[in-house]
Structure 1
Amino acid sequence: MKTTQNYYRRVDLPAGDLHVYASDVLFRGMGAKVLEMANNNLQIPNIRYMSYTPDAHVGVGTCIGTTAVWGMEDGFVSPSIVGSDIGCGMRVHLTNVHESELKDVRLRRKLVKTIERLIPVENHARGYFSDIRLEHVLRKGLHGLPGKYVPDAYTPRKATSLTHVEYGGFRFDEAELDRLPEPIWHRAHRQLGTLGGGNHFVEIQSLAIHEDNRDIAVKWGLADGMVIVMIHSGSRAWGGAVNQYCGTEVAKTMSRMGLGTPDPKLQFAPLDSPAGQAYANLMYSALNFAVANRHLMGYAVREAFRDTLGKEAEMRTLYDLMHNYACEEQEGETAYFVHRKGATKALPAGHPGNPKPYAETGHPALIPGSMGTASYLMVGERPGAANYYSICHGAGRLRSRNATKQLVTVDEFAESLRVGREDEIVVNHRALESILDESPQAYKDVDQIVESVVGAGLASVVAKCRPMATIKGV
């Protein structure tokens, strides 16, 4: 093992080199299993690079917090290194509301209740966007939505919904859509604009700008005390169906070609194989679903703010990005096929991959904490090129859901949410027992995660976000 600085190390494993961006404390806490999983991943043919972010922890087949890279000409695609929730990611909206306007805890509760009415949180609840054609969303992403759900689409000076996104829509071979059965189309259509369970959330936060990057914050339209909305969700049932169908086809290809590793749950296939192409194309349809799903939730939150605070309440998109996906990326003259599972792209100023509105500054990298702790808005730095511009995607799970329920009491959870105080973080669940496995104690310290990212030179902090209210699914 060669250590060059406190926040980076190269680990020499039997199957190849693993690059880890984490402090000594966080690295020691990862455990042997994450190195074992990395060694399995490094046995996939032709892999060029693999790394862990500081929030890395054990997942199915591949750790969450992984970046893995192949060349386009001999590349592989791995459903395991994309993750089960294809396109899962973050979205942030800026409001014209100041935190002082939401000081009254009763008003925050009213706002949460209104959001919950417009964004169903039960796992099988139907969304409110039944007039949207699912095939349009799958094929075109945001550009497949009716104009009425893109309120700024025809006001170019204010338009951010279609421009301030990592990817508004992927193009792919639409004939692949015919592979999925009719029942999943019906189920996925019902889930447009819904949250889902687990670690997904809608959170109302207030901003504190980091002085070192105040100039960037101003260019992004941020201000101290500004209320923002952070949304975390993915492709719901559609992505799950893609994984189920393609997983079977990929497994057949692996068997036929004699491919495999010691982990039977690690799936991969040549990118140019029929199974690889089917997965890649259907994955892109799920990415389109995911960005549209978050967009529709943002639209619903906007309506909730107006219903609660008055029609003068406004929201505009700061950015939308993913942290579970794979796609082609260009660096100089070379094209790579980059997988990110629980990893966020963070491009620096001047990088050609930035969307036009952020060409000068670099785009916002949206890093959620755990419920009851801070989140961060960050921006990529040039040394991040060494890690294909990947940074953390959040706090990262510290212990399992069952372990959390056994080790953390409801009183401890309530204390972390400051229940009963003026600055209480309002949640949409009266019984905290139902979401105990999502308590802050289940996650790593997000401040330590961000410290590692900054210390490694991958990105810097633009603003810190304090939670005021959280909506969780069940």
Structure 2
Amino acid sequence: MNNNANYYRRIDLPAGDLHVFARDDLFHAMGAKVLEMANNNLQIPNIRYMSYTPDAHVGVGTCIGTTAVWGMEDGFVSPSIVGSDIGCGMRVQLTNLQAEDLHDVKLRRKLVKAIEKRIPVENHQRGHFSDIRLEDVLRKGLHGLPGKYVPDAYTPRKATSLTHVECSRLRFDESELERIPEPVWHRAHRQLGTLGNGNHFIEMQAISVNEENRRIAEQWGLRDGQVVVMIHSGSRSWGGAVNQHCGSLVAKTMSKLGLGTADPKLAFAPLDSVAGRTYTNLMYAALNYAVANRHLMAFAVRDALRELFGSQAETSTLYDLMHNYACEENHGEAPVLVHRKGATRALPAGHSGNPAPYRETGHPALIPGSMGTASYLMVGAPEGLRNYYSICHGAGRVRSRSATKQLVTVDEFASSLRIGQEDEIVLNHRALESLVDESPQAYKDVDQIIDSVVQARLASVVAKCRPLATVKGV
């Protein structure tokens, strides 16, 4: 790789090879800790491949921005390389609105309030979907939702809810659900259709199509100035309960088999062990929850738009994907288990793994920026095969929450959101102090991240998304 050598490097660590896809400045800013964590991960038996995307940064047990691969016959599954928020991912809904329809800052504020009315942003608040059976969602994903929440399922020509998603349902051994105690079920049921805090958000954005991929953009239904809705959330308390329940099982298995690394927080178990099977099955249930959770929020946003713009306001699903998960995939003769922690799958045109509507073009890869900066819609490139078709999942933190609060002032944060200006990015929080740790200054430059992915020939940009209004959880 001569012309993109500065965007890829293979690092020979004591425990094995690490592949890093990042421009020089991003790589050198990662620090020694990410290499130390990679070396621990590479000590897990039978690992076949491990890489970092340019947004990689230190996490618990494993860096965010990791792709790690095992064979299915002798492989391992690692809760640490899936991440604590199982199924966390992105959804983008297309609308029939244009940016000028939301030009008035007062209207954007009304829209934010309308969304908040339908989607709780505080952890103690209950979602508005009590008529949904949690067991149906866990077992069937989107197919477990009542028909009224999937209205386009009755109009096949317009239907996108069930077809324009990375996975609408993952099947698993449903008897494993009996392991989760009743209080967890109650809390997870209350949280259906809720956002969560941290870096989760709902954002109204305006599209700017990349001329080089205009044909693909048109096939996806994108147009310049179009308003889209980007949603970032995961499996809420259900995923947390799966990690807590399986943590002791995995720890006992590691102790029994004499497994471990220098990092006591790095958890893993053989796929064919009781702990491995239990975690994998319950993880799939959490993935079903996560995709349904994002779908319900998209349903609620549609109602909010109709409150302001009337019944003519329409939305449809561009795509829904995960960036914290492990799934069986085919990348050659034998299937493999691909872990992605803060990494996005980006399949190219013609790949059989694409959903049918995107077989010709490749599916949309949804990459959020930090709050106040642009997000991106990308499409995978054939050369992405060398990284198991994994690309970045966002900007990636450059400093901790506590450090950000110490270094960034409220005025600096307000300036990045253009508060008080005509093009203000409307935020649902009145007190910016509560969100300083999520300011753009806490994250890497998303444009540099995207540049790394493009120059490494893993994917290309289809459209850039400018933020108009953002809803954050607390």
Q: TM-score, normalised by structure 2?
A: 0.99
1:455 alignment counterpart? 455
SS class of match (1:249)? helix
Q: Which residue of 1 aligns with 2:181?
A: 181
Instruction: For residue 332 of structure 1, report the CA deviation from its aligned partner.
Output: 3.2
Does residue 260 (structure 1) correspond to residue 260 (structure 2)? The answer is yes
Letter in 2 for 1:38: A
Pick closer, same or farther for the CA change 1:82–1:320 going to 2, 3 Å.
same
Q: Aligned ranges for residues 93-108 of structure 1 at < 5 Å?
A: 93-108=93-108
Superposition map of 1:45-444 within 5 A: 45-444=45-444
Find the residue that maps to 2:152 and give its secondary structure.
coil
Q: Which amino acid aligns with 2:259?
A: L
Q: Is the 8 A contact 1:346 1:389 kept in 2?
A: yes
Structure 1's consecutive aligned runs of 4 or more residues displaced over 4 angstroms after TM superposition are: none
Secondary structure (helix, strand or coil) at the match of 1:467 reads: strand
Distance 1:459 1:331 in 2: 17
- In structure 1, give the amino acid aligned to 2:346: A
Distance change in 2, residues 1:3/1:257 (3 Å): farther
Letter aligned with residue 278 of structure 1: T
Asked whether the 8 Å contact 1:76–1:269 carries over to 2, the reply is: yes
Deviation at 1:3, TM superposition (A): 11
Q: Tell me, in whole angstroms, the C-alpha distance in 2 between the residues paired with 1:205 and 1:193.
A: 21
Deviations 1:39-75 (A, max 9, x none): 0000000000000000000000000000000011101
CA contact (8 A) 1:127 1:193 kept: yes
Q: Secondary structure at the match of 2:154?
A: coil
Greater CA drift, 2-11 or 389-398: 2-11
Q: Which runs of 5+ in 2 are unaligned?
A: none
Rounded to whole Å, the distance in 2 between the matches of 1:124 and 1:19 is 42
Which residue in the other structure is 1:445 paired with?
445
Code of the aligned partner of 2:189:
H
Secondary structure class of the residue paired with 2:383:
helix
Q: Percent identity?
A: 79
How many equivalent residue pairs? 473
Tell me, yes or no, if the aligned pair for 2:324 and 2:343 is still in contact at 8 Å.
Answer: yes
> Residue 281 of structure 1: SS of its match in structure 2?
helix
Whichever residue aligns with residue 66 of structure 1, its letter is T
Q: Check the 8 A contact 1:3/1:10 in 2, yes or no.
A: no
SS at match of 1:152: helix
Question: 1:86-127, CA deviations, whole angstroms, 9 ceiling, x for partnerless residues?
Answer: 000000000000000100000000000000110000012100
Cα–Cα, structure 1 residues 83 and 216, in superposed 2: closer, same or farther, change >3 Å? same
Name the TM-score, length of structure 1 as normaliser: 0.99
In the alignment, residue 93 of structure 2 is paired with which amino acid? H
Q: In 1, are the aligned partners of 2:54 and 2:392 still within 8 Å (CA)? A: yes
CA contact (8 A) 1:375 1:466 kept: yes
**d(CA) in 1 for partners of 2:157 and 2:73?**
41
Distance in 2 (alpha carbons) for counterparts of 1:7 and 1:321:
25
Quick one: distance in 1 between partners of 2:3 and 2:365? 27
Asked if the contact 1:3/1:9 (under 8 Å) is kept, the reply is no
Match of 1:473 in 2: 473
Maintained 8 Å contact 1:95/1:228: yes
For residues 318 and 381 of structure 2, what CA distance do their matches in structure 1 show? 19
Equivalent residue for 2:9? 9
CA contact (8 A) 2:4 2:455 kept: no
Other structure's SS at 2:208 match = strand
SS across alignment from 1:159:
coil
Q: 1:132 to 1:259 in 2, by over 3 A?
A: same
Contact 1:82 1:324 in 2 (8 A): yes
In 2, the alpha carbon distance for the partners of 1:55 and 1:261 equals 24
Give the AA of the match of 1:414.
Answer: A
CA distance in 2, matches of 1:91, 1:303: 17
Separation of aligned partners in 2, 1:351 and 1:247: 36
Task: Work out the CA distance in 2 between the residues paired with 1:75 and 1:28.
Answer: 32
Instruction: Give, in whole Å, the separation in 2 of the partners of 1:441 and 1:28.
Output: 19
SS at match of 1:6: helix
Partners in 1 of 2:468 and 2:168 — Cα distance?
29
- Residues in 2 aligned to 1:379 and 1:334: alpha-carbon distance in whole angstroms: 25
TM-superposed deviation, 1:412: 0.3
